[in-house]
Amino acid sequence: MKKHISKETLISRFENKLSKNEKEWVSKHLKECSKCAIALKKVGSLIELMRNDDSADAPENSIQLAKNIFEPNADSKKGFVKRILATMQMHLSPLQPSFNERGSKPSMRQTLYQAGENSLDIRVSGEEDSYKLDGQILGTGFVNAQITLSRKENEYVTTTNELSEFVFNKLGPGNYDLKVTKGSLEILLRNLEIE
Ligand SMILES: [Zn+2]
């Protein structure tokens, strides 16, 4: 079995700290491995995000945060549920606008929420009555976390992948509550506006 690129190596690549040999190996591997290519994109966008954020104590924090994305599950203590309310931390400007066949502009919004030691990266895209929600939990221990999205009597459930990412498709507009459940930890994001 081939070895995947470590998170440290991915981060080093952005800091231009790789040797010539490492660089060659990494470039070759990235062409063949979509998993690592996706991981690289995540690390890149996060580092860029933190570098552009004047309020953060970058670069130390950004690198620690980037490393945290890929940490394995933390053990959960059974018996009680710790509930954290997520609050909006940063509103990121819309991403590159793109146009569909009809010439209308679909909306795309990215917002970062803070929940204790963790952050939630939420991207909402789409138009009219069909929206897509892309999310990622930044922090340790959220692989295979249960994500519940609810609005009135509608409830949608999914599970995060190995990068703590999740996605909901074909959502109607409205205010949703998003709940992240992992072990004894619950993160609640109330009144997430999808429009
Ligand atoms: Zn790989």
Specify the amino acid at residue 40.
Answer: L
Give residue-wise pLDDT tens across range 103-133: 555 567 888 888 888 889 999 998 778 999 9
- The torsion angles phi and psi of 43, rounded to 5 degrees, stand at -60, -45
Structure-block tokens of residue 20: 């010539």
d(CA 119, CA 56): 13
pTM: 0.55
Q: Which residue has the higher pLDDT, 37 or 117?
A: 37
- Structural domain boundaries of the chain? 7-69, 82-194
The answer to which of 10-14, 86-90, 173-177 has the lowest mean pLDDT is 86-90
d(CA 3, CA 65): 23
Task: Give residue 33 CA to ligand 1 midpoint distance, Å.
Answer: 5
pLDDT at residue 178, rounded to an integer: 95
pLDDT digits (tens, 9 = 90+) for 55-74: 545 455 555 555 555 443 33
Query: If one looks up domain 82-194 in CATH, what number appears?
Result: 2.60.40
Asked whether 189 and 162 are in contact (CB, 8 A), the reply is no
CA distances from 15 to 19, 59, 68, 126 (A): 12, 11, 17, 34
What separation in Å is there between the alpha carbon of 15 and the centre of ligand 1?
20
| Interval between CA 1 and ligand 1 midpoint (Å) | 10
